[in-house]
Structure formats: C-alpha cells, structure tokens
Amino acid sequence: MEEDSDNKVRITYLVLDVLKPHRPTIVELSRYLAERINTITTVNTTILEIDQDTESIKMEIYGENLEVDMIKSVLREYGASVHSVDEVTVEK
Amino acid sequence: MEINYISTGGVNRGLPLITRLKRYIDYIRISNANEVARRYFVINSFDGTVTALGIILGALIANIQYPGQVIDVGVATGLALLISGITGTSIAEEAERDKIIRELEASMLTDMRNTIFEKAQRFAILYVGIVDGVSSFLSVLIALGPVFASAFGFIDLSLALQTSIVVCLIYLGVLGIFIGSYAKRSILKETLKLIGIGILTTIVVTILLYPT
C-alpha cells in the first residue's frame, strides 16, 4: 500500500531497557548516540542497577523519526545491549 | 534516518586525523589505559634512568676515553629497553585485557567483538606498551645528553659523565614531583626519595667497583 507522505507514521519516543559495561559511562553513551543519529533530539538516561561489571539503564529517546534497529546497532557498537523496548510513541 | 558518522566496521583507516585522534582519546578513557600507562611511565623512566646511571658510573670507573663508546653502550641498552618494554608489556597487557573482555562477555551474555569496548581494550595494549618502551628509552637518552655533547666536542668526557650523573638525579627528582603531584602526596618527600635512590646507587656502585 502506498504511503501518503502526509500520513507517514513516525516513531518519536522510545524507552529502552539497556545493559552496558561501566565504560563508556551513561554520559558518553548518551552523547555518542545523539551525535551518531541526526534525528535524535533528546536522550534521557537513568541508571537502574549497578553490579560489578555492568549497569542496567533506561534510555528515553526523543526524535523526529526514530529507527529502532539503527539505534540498537549504534548501541551495540558502543558495547551496550538492548534488552527490551518498554515504551514507544508513534505520531502521524 | 541519517547517521552522522560512517561506520568503518572497526577500521580507522581513511578517517581524518583529528577524528582518529578523538577516537583514540575515547579508547583511552573507556579502557582506563591512562592509569596503567602512568604506572608504567614512572616505573620505566625510573628503570631507564638508574640503568643509565649504572652505565655512566661504569664508564667513569673504567676510565673510558671516548664518548662514542659510552654512547654505543647507552643507546644499545636503551634500544633493548625500548623493545623489551613494548613487547613485554604488550604481551602482559594483552592477557589482562582479554580477561577483562571475557569476564564482561560472561556478565553481559553477549559477544563484545567489534564493540567500542573491545577496540578500546585492544588499543590500550598498544598504548601502554609504547609508553613503557619509550619512557625507558627516553630516560637513557636524556641521561646521556652531556655525553652526546662531549661527542660533538662541546665538553670533555670526564665533565660530561659527571654532568650526566647530575642529569640523572635531576630527572629522578622530576619523576618525584610527577608522582607527588598526581598521587596528591608530599612532592618534597617523593622527590627526595627518588633522588636518594639515585645517590645510593652511585655510592654502592662506586664502593663496589672503584679500583683500589
């Protein structure tokens, strides 16, 4: 089905449950993500749990047209692993 | 969706120098390599300087007449320390970094290959090895500075060797200042400690080897 560009559905908000090593820090990781993907406008990261080697974090990502696979790929490149997508906002 | 940076699949070739340098700085930060490199810098600068002190004292005691001979021995020793430092430390550091990566993979339940974390650990191996080797080599060259001046005819060899001893003690003092600064300890105490070791070395070598 052809999409009318005016009715195009876009992901504008995501909440990800992410597991990462201690380094890069959440500041560095959030910065890398925002620098690497132009359509991301805001990244809000919170640490949920810390253990000896890793930290569980929640990342709230705001943007114009977010692609989950691309974000996962960039996070993977920085040593982080996305466990789940906990929230999503889609706009039209 | 536009990605600002072109993934090179882990390869830094083709990137502008500034970008590459920034990436290496990131690697150093992520791998905490500076803490290890600092330790190796101090240890090997100290080793190189005391080794050079030994060479200089030996040359004085043996009454060597030609600066070229002292330079040959000194530079050969320095090069051996350079190669030993780079290779030995790289081998040891590789084992440590591999362990860190494997432990993290076990904790993360994921393969960490080709992630920035793994690349940072690999970079740290090379970085720490180079710091180790270069610091001892440079220490020897600095200590031999007056002897090089003698080789070019600026001063006579005996004065050059005595000046080299002073240069070694000063460099040990500078190392003491460095240690005191970053460890937030008494700079005076650290400086005197290292200079004291240099003086002790001089006394012991002279007493044991000076012809009676």
Q: Hey, what are A38's tokens?
A: 């132009």
First-last CA distance in chain A: 16
Residue A8: pLDDT band (50, 70, 90) is confident
Closest-CA distance of chain B to residue A37, Å: 5
Q: Which two tokens stand for residue B70?
A: 């002292």
In sequence order, the β-bridge partners of residue A6 are none
Question: Domain residues of chain A, as ranges?
Answer: 5-91
Q: Rounded to an integer, what distance in angstroms lies between the CA atom of residue A33 and that of residue A31?
A: 5
- Chain A residues with CB inside 8 Å of B114's CB? 77
DSSP state of B161: H
At A69, the amino acid letter reads D
Task: Per residue of chain B (212 residues), give pLDDT as tens.
Answer: 443 443 433 445 567 888 888 889 989 998 999 999 999 999 999 999 999 999 999 999 999 999 999 999 999 999 999 999 999 999 999 999 999 999 999 988 888 888 989 999 999 999 999 999 999 999 999 999 999 999 999 999 999 999 999 999 999 999 999 999 988 999 999 999 999 999 999 999 999 887 76
- In CATH, the number for domain A5-91 is 3.30.70.1340
Set of chain B residues whose Cβ sits within 8 Å of the Cβ of A52? 107
Verify whether the Cβ–Cβ distance B32 to A24 is below 8 Å: no
Beta-carbon contacts below 8 Å between A and B: 66
Q: Helix crossing, B187-209 with B157-183: angle to 10°?
A: 150
Select from B1, B6, B11 the least CA-distant residue to B114: B11
Q: What CA–CA distances, in Å, run from A85 to A18, A57, A59, B203?
A: 9, 12, 10, 70
Nearest CA in chain A to B5: A36
pLDDT one-digit tens code per residue, A16-67: 999 999 988 999 999 999 999 999 999 999 999 999 889 999 999 999 999 9
Query: Phi/psi class of residue B63: alpha, beta or left (left: φ > 0; alpha: ψ in -120 to 50)?
Result: left
Q: How many CB atoms lie within 10 A of CB A28?
A: 15
B28 in Cβ contact with B125 (< 8 Å): no
Measured between alpha carbons, how far is B167 from B126 in angstroms, rounded to an integer?
Answer: 30
Q: Which of B4, B108, B112 is closest, CB to CB, to A38?
A: B4
- Hey, what's the torsion of the CAs at A35, B128, B13, B108, to 10 degrees? -50
Q: Would you call A32 helix, strand, or coil by DSSP?
A: helix
Cα–Cα dist B194/B168, whole Å: 10
Question: Which chain B residues contact residue A21 at CB under 8 A?
Answer: 104, 107-108, 117
Tokens 């330079």 correspond to B71
**Smallest CA–CA distance from B116 into chain A, residue:** A78
Q: What is the pLDDT of residue A7?
A: 63
Mean pLDDT of A61-87: 94
Domain ranges of chain B: 26-205
